[in-house]
Amino acid sequence: MSAPFSFSLLNKTDNAARRGEIVTPHGKVQTPAFMPVGTQATVKGLTPDDVRGSGAEIVLGNTYHLMLRPGAERIAALGGLHAFMNWPLPILTDSGGFQVMSMSALRRLEEKGVTFRSHLDGTMIELTPERAIEIQGLLGADISMQLDECIGLPAPRKEIARAMQLSLRWAERSKKAFGARSGRALFGIVQGGDDRVLRSESVRALIDIGFDGYAIGGMAVGESQEVMLKIVAETAPQLPRDKPRYLMGVGTPHDLLEAVARGIDMFDCVLPTRNGRHGMAFTRYGAVNLANARHASDARPLDEQSAHSTARSYTRAYLHHLIRANEMLGAVLLSKINLTYYQELMAGMRAAIAAGRFADFKAETMAGWERGDIAPLPAPG
């Protein structure tokens, strides 16, 4: 009934950039792939049809949020996360570790795991590597992530090393707890902050344990894009060629382009939906802030040549009005526009890699962003 997990590179790589395909029990994912974030069992404001319509083939679910509400056991009793949120395609779940660190004010980190206070009702909850794997099993994830400790940057090397080592011990326990879960995949997470030596040590130890895919974690936590890309460039080539590589929590369209150029296959990020809710549109000509007064009387669409009807059929003036009036529809339309733009960007990268012209595509795409938005309308005379 369900295909086991697999990954294959579909053609020779275009320098470091890779064109691949992930097979999961819920369908295939063409890589490089961008995963919209469905934090609380919904990509904010959008129906599953909207999300599929954007071109997405996989979404991410957040273990931290779902374990607190509505609860992993409840979702399992309701048939798993796919059935719960009416999403029939693949789902990757994170381990909850990142949100425990970022959302819970009170927490205690021990060898065994992390104990934290729920931000919803104040109860104390324990999350261990074994429980994180159990929860992701209850959710029915196609791809599960090991529990890790993710720290912000900058940080002292000693602290980065300690967290990386703890994450490795948790990686081993995660692998053991995962066992031979039929057809499903478990990814390990490379830690080591901005330290090349620690990152390499993490990579080697994870490969020794053996995972179905490898993530680069601990990025997009305060470092510059330059540092992030340097770590990616150093780390990706050390990862097994025949396994997917996932850069967690990244990023802007420019981040995606540069990271694919360095050998990354998978991404997730809240930027397209979160920034959309606040009035920012991502377009072929860079980011456009629709809350800006320059759009108030502008009857032109956001991008008249977009393949996406939403970007063509509403005026800038209307989108501006919806954002200024704090209307839900503004968040809905801009989330659709941004997710579609992200997916178009990924599709463009995939086609370019397949055609052996990724460098040209990258240069053309960046030239579009640098060109910037169309000029404002002349002031009424």
In 3D space, the residue among 235, 320, 284, 246 whose CA is nearest the CA of residue 34 turns out to be 246
> Which window, 1-9, 264-272, 322-330, 338-346, contacts its own copies (CB under 8 A)?
322-330
Question: According to CB under 8 A, which one of 52, 254, 274, 321 is a site residue for its own copies?
Answer: 321
> Which window, 24-32, 80-88, 168-176, 279-287, contacts its own copies (CB under 8 A)?
80-88
- β-bridge mates for residue 301, sequence order: 315
Q: b vs e for 202-233, b when ≥16 Cβ sit within 10 Å of the residue's Cβ? A: bbebbbeeebbbbbbbbbbbebebeebbebbe
Q: Does 356 bind its own copies (CB under 8 A)?
A: no
Give the DSSP per-residue string, 84-100: HTT--S-EEE--SHHHH
Question: According to CB under 8 A, which one of 8, 15, 86, 102 is a site residue for its own copies?
Answer: 86
Q: Does 260 bind its own copies (CB under 8 A)?
A: no
Q: Does 60 bind its own copies (CB under 8 A)?
A: no
Are 336 and 46 a contacting pair, CB within 8 Å? yes
Are 212 and 5 a contacting pair, CB within 8 Å? yes
> Distance (Å, rounded) from C-alpha 167 to C-alpha 359?
35
Q: Does 84 bind its own copies (CB under 8 A)?
A: yes
Q: Does 368 bind its own copies (CB under 8 A)?
A: no
180 versus 299: smaller Cβ distance to its own copies:
299
Total site size for its own copies, rule CB under 8 A: 35
Q: Does 46 bind its own copies (CB under 8 A)?
A: yes
> Which window, 152-160, 221-229, 241-249, 329-337, contacts its own copies (CB under 8 A)?
329-337
- β-bridge mates for residue 31, sequence order: 20
- β-bridge mates for residue 267, sequence order: 34, 247
Minimum CB distance to its own copies, residue 88 (Å): 11
Question: According to CB under 8 A, which one of 59, 89, 333, 345 is a site residue for its own copies?
Answer: 333
Question: According to CB under 8 A, which one of 58, 133, 163, 332 is a site residue for its own copies?
Answer: 332
Minimum CB distance to its own copies, residue 105 (Å): 20
Are 23 and 315 a contacting pair, CB within 8 Å? no
> Which window, 22-30, 111-119, 229-237, 295-303, contacts its own copies (CB under 8 A)?
295-303
Are 190 and 217 a contacting pair, CB within 8 Å? yes
Q: Does 45 bind its own copies (CB under 8 A)?
A: yes
Residues carrying an active site annotation? 94, 268
Are 192 and 202 a contacting pair, CB within 8 Å? yes
List the beta strands (DSSP E) in the chain: 6-9, 20-24, 27-31, 33-35, 37-38, 59-61, 91-93, 107-109, 114-117, 124-127, 143-145, 185-190, 213-216, 245-247, 266-268, 280-283, 286-289
Q: Does 327 bind its own copies (CB under 8 A)?
A: yes
Contacts with its own copies, residue ranges (CB under 8 A): 40-42, 44-47, 69-70, 74, 77-79, 84-86, 296-297, 299, 313-315, 317-318, 320-322, 324-325, 327-329, 331-333
